[in-house]
Chains A and B, each alone.
Chain A
Amino acid sequence: MNSSIEENSSSLWKDAWIKLSKNRLALFGLAILCILIITSLLTPLIAPYSYEAQNLELGATSPSIQHWLGTDIFGRDMLTRIMYGGRVSLMVGFIATAVALVIGILWGAVAGFFGGRVDAVMMRIVDMLYALPFMIFIILLMVVFGRNILLLFFAIGAVEWLTMARIVRSQVMALRNQEFVEAANSLGLSQWTIIRRHIIPNTLGPVIVYTTLTIPSVMLLEAFLSFLGLGIQPPQSSWGLLINYGVETMEEFPWLLIFPGIALSLTLFALNFLGDGLRDALDPRASKD
């Protein structure tokens, strides 16, 4: 901006941010998410107790000044364990979503942009994979190859990319026929320039929204598998696994179930609210008037 006579402009991103910042629930979600990420990154530094050290004499105690969230039957501090579990849960959520994102965007963009036969074949493959019972397949993979966290990333990512591919494809298809893309064509811009300048910036909104909503569903999947004993394997821990342990002793020590449960639910809440808020803020239909 070089001169003061230029009038204030507001891009769609700026508009979206203004809308989002008016949505309290979404902001709450964003705040929770930030706190979680920071805590997870700093856990080894700030965790009050050791993650593994057992204190069998202490055993399970209810929440107290020393142990804010109590201790488990081996006398391990629950807060510490939830913090470490959260690291794994969040990591699975982010990495598996990233896997889904990369495959889904590439697949969807190629199918949508080239269209025709390429599109028909690629989307038929997606349709067929959709019909597969993936949950069963993940369990199968876990059984056959052992409970391996890398495999878990890959397996969950392999499930979630399908929807991302569909979303990106339909976006690209719709954009490809928009007049401004046709105008770019009539200017003689190269295909790559058109994709980079005109298509990608306009598909980002829905992709961001869907990504935000994919993370909680991935975390849920991981927790589900870990709960069944088919996901994360001890000594690693995750919230699903902690809930599983909690269920075994919930009659005597309900806090061992309730605190990891709250951690998981609160995170899912935060991400879902943020996703809903982003959808409202980035929805092109809402921004027209």
Chain B
Amino acid sequence: MAILEVNGLKVFFHTRNGTVKAVNDISFSVDSGETLAIVGESGSGKSVTCYSLLDLLPKPPAKIEAGTALFEGNDLLTCSKDQMRQHRCNDIAVIFQDPMTSLNPFLTIGEQLIEPLVHHPDKDQAITRRSAKEKAIALLDEVGIIDSQERFDCYPHEFSGGMRQRVMIAMALITEPKLLICDEPTTALDVTIQAQILELIKKLQETRNVAVIFISHDLGVVAGIADKVIVMCEGTIREADITDNIFYKTKDDYTKKLLSAIPEGAKTLPNRSIHGSPLIDVSNLKTYFKNQSGKKDNENQFVKAVDDVSLAISRGEILGLVGESGSGKSTLGRSILQLAPATSGSVKFDDQVLTGMNAKQLVPWRKRMQMIFQDPYASLNPRMTVFETLSEPLLYHGLASKKEIAQHVKQLMDDVGLAQAQLRKYPHEFSGGQRQRIAIGRAIATKPEFIIADEPVSALDVTIQAQILDLILDLVEQHNLTMMFISHDLSVVRYISDRVIIMNRGVIVEQGDTEGLWARPKEPYTKDLLSAIPLADPRSERLRIATR
């Protein structure tokens, strides 16, 4: 018996620039105790579908055009506001993506936990604060919050990201819902934390026998937990089936594309030569920042973002640098490029010491090393056209005269796969992937020998991510580049790198050639990290969860 049955749901957004068919005629159902995963890239309508069930969309511009959503026989889409409050309070709960913004910063987490119980729409179902608090603390214990008695009175900012998501889960479960909607609940979290949260959701679902709708952009994440999978694209369902069929016997081209876009194994680049001599030589590099939180004791005066790191990168090599948030990996990259001043230690580029040079002395070296940034929305000046962005490095370093510049820029556009006709457009007129191509074009404009790519694909959808990775590999091969590739995503790093360095809390934990490290990790931290990677392979995922 399906607990939720959605039929012919259509949600359109009526904006000034026309109508967006966010969800266009979709149907699905969920049974008690079952996990349904809805997978899709950004703009596929997966979140809109679920928010429309609970009347959480901003109306206008959103409008539910057609369809029914029967929850235990009652239509959620046409019910009254009071009935909807009943459903929200008793039946359906949501875990949102970003626990930082989804919890009210002005209220203690305890207050936020107990309020649906204390202010229950049915007066006779409302319980006293004291018993609500008991219930909340028991639940906090269950989701793994230590010292739940004291933590009950803490504010959200006093928790780490993972802990905040645990609170969020407790908050969803406190009303004992029958259906739990998880909207990308682990996307904002580090990979090891993600594994813990997924496990927790799985466990809680089994003990409570609730139905779960799990929304994600990542097929790997849902492989281990979903019973059924829906693949959505541009508001429609492309494929819906039991999990194994989706992963192993897919019939749909789009699903195939999604699966093949997941970086797997290592790439092969035949025409590359890695010389022995190092292009980059970093020794005992330390980069400390003043502690902002104002503690003045000597021990904590500095944040040791990079703490005594030494490494070398050979010519032609792609070095992967992996770490979770706060590991210091980005700071290390910036320090190597002399964008963040090092506290001590040295960085040598082609046997020349860069540390200690002033801005003027660095100019000729800047031409030879470049950077690609993470956020394609922030890394381009919004008031400059593509032409201006790409011509700036060429003109500044005297690599092209004013006369030839148009030709050079067009060549760059070709190199990164952009149409020459778009030369005079502004960044906001491009998609994320195209913007990242522009940023890559800017980085290779000066024909550098060395490029640091800082999470260049993290902000992109998985199919776009695959295209950009291939572009980067192409360029590396064509221009014989040396690269340091920084990422939190182990699969991506494995795919692209010859050698890998694992960083944690400012120090190098382990390093080695990619395949060797994957096969035989030595350090416990590396093992944890590797075992936390979600694989797009339901069988091995289930096996792994079972053996934990």
Select from chain A the residue with minimum beta-carbon distance to B16.
A22
- With A9-B429, A197-B392 as known contacts, state yes or no: A185 contacts B378, CB within 8 Å: no
Within 8 A of B (CB), among A15-41: 15
Contact indicator B380/A180 (Cβ below 8 Å): yes
Chain A residues contacting B385 (CB-CB under 8 Å) are 9, 11
User: B367: nearest residue on chain A (CB-CB)?
Assistant: A188
Cross-chain contact of B381 among A13, A190, A202, A284 (Cβ < 8 A): A202
Would A189 and B381 be within 8 Å (CB), given that A1-B424, A7-B422, A183-B371 are in contact?
no
Contact A186 B383 (CB under 8 A): no
CB distance from A182 to the nearest CB of B (A): 6
CA distance A201 to B428 in the complex (A): 16
Q: Report whether B383 and A201 are in contact in the complex, using a CB–CB cutoff of 8 Å.
A: yes
Of all A-B residue pairs in the complex, the 7 with the closest CB atoms, nearest first, are A188-B366, A179-B379, A179-B373, A188-B363, A9-B425, A201-B383, A179-B378
Residue contact B375 to A179, C-beta cutoff 8 Å: yes
- B512 lies within 8 A of chain A by Cβ: no
Q: Could you show 25 A-B contacts with beta carbons less than 8 Å apart?
A: A7-B424, A9-B424, A11-B383, A12-B382, A15-B428, A179-B374, A180-B379, A182-B371, A182-B373, A183-B379, A183-B439, A183-B442, A184-B381, A184-B392, A186-B337, A187-B392, A187-B393, A187-B396, A187-B442, A189-B396, A197-B381, A198-B381, A202-B382, A287-B428, A288-B428
By a beta-carbon cutoff of 8 Å, the part of chain A in contact with chain B is 1-2, 5-7, 9-13, 15, 178-180, 182-191, 193, 197-198, 201-202, 284, 287-288
Residues of B within 8 A of A12 (CB): 382-383, 426, 428
- Complex contacts, A179 vs chain B, CB 8 Å: 373-375, 378-379
A183 to B428, CA, bound (A): 18
Flag whether B359 is at the interface (Cβ < 8 A): yes
| B256: Cβ under 8 A from any A Cβ | no
Q: How far is the CA of A5 from the CA of B419 in the complex (A)?
A: 11
> Closest A-chain residue to B382, C-beta based?
A12
Q: Decide yes or no whether B519 CB sits under 8 A from chain A.
A: no
Query: Chain A contacts of B367 at CB under 8 A?
Result: 188
* Distance in Å: Cβ of A64 to nearest Cβ of chain B: 49
Q: Which residues of B contact A202 (CB under 8 A)?
A: 381-383
Say how far B291's CB is from chain A's closest CB, in angstroms. 15
In the bound complex, CA of A184 to CA of B393 (Å): 8
Does B514 lie at the interface of the complex (its beta carbon under 8 Å from any beta carbon of A)? no
Would you give the shortest CB distance from B126 to chain A, in whole angstroms? 39
Q: Do B382 and A193 touch across chains, with their CB atoms under 8 A apart?
A: no
| Bound: A13/B382 CA distance, A | 10
Provided the pairs A183-B439, A186-B337, A187-B392 are in contact, do residues A9 and B426 lie with their beta carbons within 8 angstroms? Answer: yes
A1 to chain B minimum Cβ distance, whole angstroms, is: 7
| A188 pairs with B396, CB closer than 8 A | yes
CB of B446 closer than 8 Å to a CB of A: yes
Interface residue ranges of B319-334 to A (CB < 8 Å) = 334
Residue of A nearest to B386 (CB): A9
Chain A's nearest CB lies how many Å from the CB of B332? Answer: 15
Min distance, Cβ A21 to any Cβ of chain B, angstroms: 13
Identify the closest chain A residue to B17 (Cβ).
Answer: A289
Q: Could you say which residues of chain B place their CB within 8 Å of the CB of A287?
A: 428
Q: How far is the CA of A183 from the CA of B385 in the complex (A)?
A: 15
Chain B residues with CB under 8 Å of chain A are 334, 337, 339, 359, 362-363, 365-367, 369-371, 373-375, 377-385, 392-393, 396-397, 406, 420-426, 428-429, 439, 442, 446
User: In the complex, what residues of A have CB within 8 A of residue B359's CB?
Assistant: 188, 190-191
Q: Which residue in chain A gives the minimum CB-CB distance to B422?
A: A7
Residues of A within 8 A of B337 (CB): 186
Residues of chain B contacted by A10 (CB below 8 angstroms): 426, 429
A187 to B384, CA, bound (A): 16
- Minimal beta-carbon separation of A122 from chain B (angstroms): 19
Q: How far is the CB of A92 from chain B (nearest CB, A)?
A: 33
Given contacts A178-B378, A182-B339, contact A187 B428 (CB under 8 A): no
- Assess the B423–A6 pair: CB atoms within 8 A: yes
Q: Kindly list 9 other residue pairs between chains A and B, CB separation below 8 angstroms, not including A182-B373, A287-B428.
A: A5-B420, A6-B423, A10-B426, A15-B428, A179-B379, A186-B369, A186-B370, A188-B367, A197-B384
How distant is the Cα of A1 from the Cα of B428 in the complex, in angstroms? 20
Shortest beta-carbon distance, B405 to chain A, in Å?
13
CB-based nearest A residue for B337? A186
Instruction: Give min CB distance, A250 to chain B, whole Å.
Output: 47
- Contact A187 to B426, CB < 8 A, known contacts A5-B421, A179-B379, A197-B392: no
Q: Is the CB of B423 within 8 A of A189?
A: no
Contact B424 A6 (CB under 8 A): yes
**A189 vs B396: C-alpha distance in the bound complex, in angstroms?**
7
Which residue on chain A has the smallest CB distance to residue B363?
A: A188
Q: Identify B362's interface contact among A5, A188, A288, CB under 8 A.
A: A188
Residues of B within 8 A of A190 (CB): 359
**Residues of B close to A288: CB separation below 8 A:** 377, 428
Task: Give which listed residue, B377, B397, B428, contacts A188 with CB less than 8 A.
Answer: B397
Nearest Cβ on chain B to A3's Cβ, whole angstroms:
8
Q: Is the CB of A189 within 8 A of B392?
A: yes
- Taking the nearest CB of chain B, how far is it from the CB of A4, in angstroms? 10
Q: What's the nearest-Cβ distance from chain B to residue A213, in Å?
A: 22
Question: Which residue of B is nearest A13, CB measured?
Answer: B383
Q: Which residues of B have CB within 8 Å of A183?
A: 371, 373, 379, 439, 442
Roughly how many angstroms separate A287 CA and B370 CA in the complex, as a whole number? 30
Cα distance, A284 to B367, chains bound together (Å): 32
Least CB separation from B383: chain A residue: A201
Question: Please, how many angstroms separate the alpha-carbon atoms of A136 and B80 in the complex?
Answer: 58
In angstroms, Cα B423 to Cα A5, docked, is 10
CA distance A190 to B363 in the complex (A): 9
Residue of A2, A186, A287 with highest tally of chain B CB at under 10 A: A186
CA distance A10 to B385 in the complex (A): 9
The complex places the Cα of A197 from the Cα of B381 at a distance, in Å, of 9
Known A-B contacts A186-B366, A189-B396; the reply to A7 vs B375 at CB < 8 A is: no
Contacts of B393 in A (CB 8 A): 187
Residues of A within 8 A of B382 (CB): 12, 202, 284
- Smallest CB–CB gap between B423 and chain A, Å? 6
Residues of B within 8 A of A184 (CB): 381, 392
Partner of B378, one of A1, A13, A180, A198: A180
Residues of A within 8 A of B442 (CB): 183, 187
Residues of B within 8 A of A5 (CB): 420-421
Residue among B363, B378, B406, B446 with most chain A CB within 10 A: B378
In the bound complex, CA of A180 to CA of B362 (Å): 19
Q: Which of B337, B366, B383, B393 gathers most chain A CB within 10 Å?
A: B383
A190 to chain B, nearest CB (A): 8
- Known contacts A180-B378, A183-B373; is-contact A7 B425 (Cβ 8 Å): yes
> Are A180 and B396 touching (Cβ within 8 A)?
no
What's the Cα separation between A197 and B424 when bound, in Å? 17
Nearest CB of chain A from residue B250's CB, rounded to whole Å = 33
The one of A11, A188, A191, A193 that contacts B426, using a Cβ cutoff of 8 Å: A11
Instruction: Give Cα A183–Cα B423 distance, bound, in whole angstroms.
Output: 20
Tell whether, in the assembled complex, residue A186 and residue B371 are in contact, meaning their CB atoms are under 8 Å apart: yes
Q: How many angstroms between the C-alpha atoms of A1 and B379 in the bound complex? A: 25
CA distance A11 to B381 in the complex (A): 12
User: B424, A187: Cβ atoms under 8 Å?
Assistant: no
Asked if residues A187 and B381 are in contact (CB atoms below 8 Å), the reply is no
User: Could you say which residues of chain B place their CB within 8 Å of the CB of A201?
Assistant: 381, 383-384
In the assembled complex, the CB of A183 is this many whole angstroms from the nearest CB of chain B, namely: 6
Determine how close the nearest CB of chain B comes to the CB of A114; give it in whole angstroms.
14
Q: Which residues of B contact A182 (CB under 8 A)?
A: 334, 339, 371, 373, 379
Query: Bound state CA distance, A91 and B82, in angstroms?
Result: 59
> CA separation between A76 and B474, bound complex, in Å?
82
